[in-house]
Amino acid sequence: MAPHAQPSASLPQERIRAKRDGHSLSPEAIAELVAGISDGSLSDAQVGALAMAIFLNGMDTDETVALTEAIRDSGQTLAWDDLDLPGPRLDKHSTGGVGDLVSLVLGPWVAACGGFVPMISGRGLGHTGGTLDKLEAIPGVAVTPDTAAFRRLVRTAGVAIIGQTADLAPADRRLYAIRDVTATVESLPLIVSSILGKKLACGLDALVMDVKTGSGAFMPSHDASVELATTIAEVASQAGTPTTALVTDMSQPLAPCAGNAIEVHEAIRLLTGQVRDGRLLTVTRTLAAELLLAGRLADSREAALARLDAALASGAAAERFARMVSGLGGPADLLEHPNRHLPEAPVSRAVFAERPGRVQAIDTRELGLAVVTLGGGRRVPDAAIDPAVGLCDIAAIGEAVDAERPLARIRAASEAEAERAERRLRAAIAVGDAPVTVPTLIHDTLRREAP
């Protein structure tokens, strides 16, 4: 990439021209452009042109760090010193997938081990589920408290999972909306700065990233997932937050279910000890251990895992989840009576393979779209969703299926919707007689310390 362009005038169009022509921009130039995005002095056309110039020409690491920091600083950045928190501020982010309810379990679990987790999460996007949609399946839960209430809940419960507030990284909100309609979403520096700008505004001591790879992942290939993980770890650490990025498998749903209320049920089952193994538990436990190490809450991986196991077995992690749900307006007895509070779809249908065999492969994206077909995701951004619908008891790759063990069970609002979802589900799961190699669950771990 060409050296820093230093136009004689600081007109935004000159900054955009420089990036269009392949020059790298100085931190000062990037800060000016992001300020213009935030205060509206850059028009939508100029923001779109800038996004396209970045999409076509990329950014080097220094530019991506500067863009991340400018987005982080475009609004309020949370400070915690006045709360005198007796532990580190820790957080996790995932690039998204199907049956990925890690945040619901990890946040309370880390809080039970002495961390404080101020987690800003999002809604479902495309075929992937969203943590906020899952939380809103719980009656009464409000995921947009004001900043003061958010901070109080982090202090009292140790964890609060909420949506992005108007005060946090406002430049990202406008830039993302324009990227969405200008075909510039799939740009590595724009993706990284969007993720990290919001996360780092929360004043974290450490961050762990879960970057998915496989048929249900956002990134199209393993190499692309590794590149994203590496870039996130490098940029976040250079912006002052030690970060570990894991590349994990999304060639099948992480949990054996997908759907908002259904996934809350699964989170409760795991937190209360009804689930004691499986892919979801393994990935969540591994990510949580990385956070305990980064936050100096354990001095070895073995010690971190032992502390986590003790917090789960004692019920401390479940208690933190209950405290968070209650603090967000949900029922105080959700753990004791989930069936009383969580909605249940009226139609339940088991889908069996046409012949016995083993699951050879899963098009995980198609399973996610089956949930969208049922009404559990959005076809347009502002659409309402049905929290009760989805899939459960999804067979895993390598698992035997027959007349007794179904491919999955569909929870639907009507028989017609169940029928449509069944067609998609059958097309997504391949069954055969060949030996099957179960996909590797955790592919890579990349750790970066702040300079």
Strand partners, 445: 246
- Catalytic: which of 134, 179, 320, 323? 179
The verdict on whether 194 is a catalytic residue reads yes
The verdict on whether 212 is a catalytic residue reads no
The verdict on whether 91 is a catalytic residue reads yes
- Catalytic: which of 19, 38, 74, 91? 91
Strand partners, 90: 206
The verdict on whether 93 is a catalytic residue reads yes
CB 109 within 8 A of CB 284: yes
- Catalytic: which of 64, 95, 131, 241? 131
- Catalytic: which of 72, 199, 212, 424? 199
The verdict on whether 134 is a catalytic residue reads no
- Catalytic: which of 26, 74, 94, 187? 94
- Catalytic: which of 194, 215, 243, 244? 194
The verdict on whether 131 is a catalytic residue reads yes
Angstrom distance (rounded) from CA 101 to CA 447: 23
- Catalytic: which of 15, 72, 89, 92? 92
Angstrom distance (rounded) from CA 229 to CA 195: 12
Angstrom distance (rounded) from CA 397 to CA 280: 14
The order of strands in the sheet holding 429-432 is 400-401, 357-362, 429-432
- Catalytic: which of 72, 93, 173, 411? 93
The verdict on whether 199 is a catalytic residue reads yes
- Catalytic: which of 15, 198, 365, 448? 198
Q: Which residues are catalytic?
A: 91-94, 131, 179, 194, 198-199
